[in-house]
Amino acid sequence: MLSFLGTTARHQRLSRAWTLELLAERSGLDVRHVQLIEAGAANVTLATLLRLANGLGVTMPELIEPARAAAAAPPPAAPARRRDIDAGRACSERVQRSRLGRDLSQEQLAHKAGLSLGAIQAVESGRKSPTLRTLGAIAGALGVPAWELLTPYDDEQAPALKKKPRAGRK
């Protein structure tokens, strides 16, 4: 996923005839960090992915999912629009709802993803912005593409949160 992100970011930048410096400025990132991302050598957080997407004027899923990236046409060279989507909250909600929809406990998801229970709890609570590697591991364990965990639910499509009763409680 990291190498695809790098290739896509580079393609998006070059299709606009932008320099690394211009993309870094528009994204609010350091030039060296943009270089590492394009090289597939930086394990970025959702916050960084959102900044990069905003700088390019595309959505986060368009940067990491092949079919969406192919469909994303470069916008005119006007300044990128800032998205008001709370990416962290959307991701936390998607992970939790996907996990509960599969009747998995946090412990089970952690085991399937090869992550610690604390990592799953931090992502679901929104205390921690997952890196793309962590997001990829969670997506793989849930059997969904990673970009799906970055897309906020519409009210009609959001599955209801159903909490399992705890043992020993009525």
Q: Which domains does the chain have, with CATH numbers?
A: 2-68 (1.10.260.40), 87-150 (1.10.260.40)
Q: Which two tokens stand for residue 88?
A: 């962290």
Share of the chain above pLDDT 90, in %: 45
**Residue 84: exposure state from Cβ atoms within 10 A (0-12, 13-18, ≥19):** exposed
Report how many helices (DSSP H) and strands (DSSP E) the chain contains, helices first: 10, 0
pTM for the full predicted model? 0.65
DSSP 149: G
| pLDDT tops 80 at residue 156 | no
Q: Which two tokens stand for residue 155?
A: 């009210």
Q: Cβ distance 74 to 30 under 8 Å?
A: no
pLDDT at 65: 78
- Residue 61 amino acid letter: P
**How many Cα atoms sit within 13 Å of 49 on the Cβ side?**
32
pLDDT digits (tens, 9 = 90+) for 94-148: 899 999 999 999 999 999 999 999 999 999 988 888 888 899 999 999 999 888 8
pLDDT at 170: 47
Other residues' Cβ atoms within 10 Å of the Cβ of residue 86: 13
Other residues' Cβ atoms within 10 Å of the Cβ of residue 35: 16
Which run of H or of E encompasses 166? none
- Residue 42 amino acid letter: A
pLDDT digits (tens, 9 = 90+) for 46-99: 889 989 999 999 988 888 876 555 555 454 444 434 343 466 778 888 899 999
pLDDT at 168: 54
Q: Which two tokens stand for residue 62?
A: 């368009």
DSSP 73: P
| pLDDT tops 70 at residue 32 | yes
SS3 56: helix
Q: Residue 45: beta bridge partners?
A: 131
| pLDDT tops 60 at residue 160 | no
Sign of CA dihedral 112, 117, 118, 122: positive
Sign of CA dihedral 29, 90, 131, 70: negative
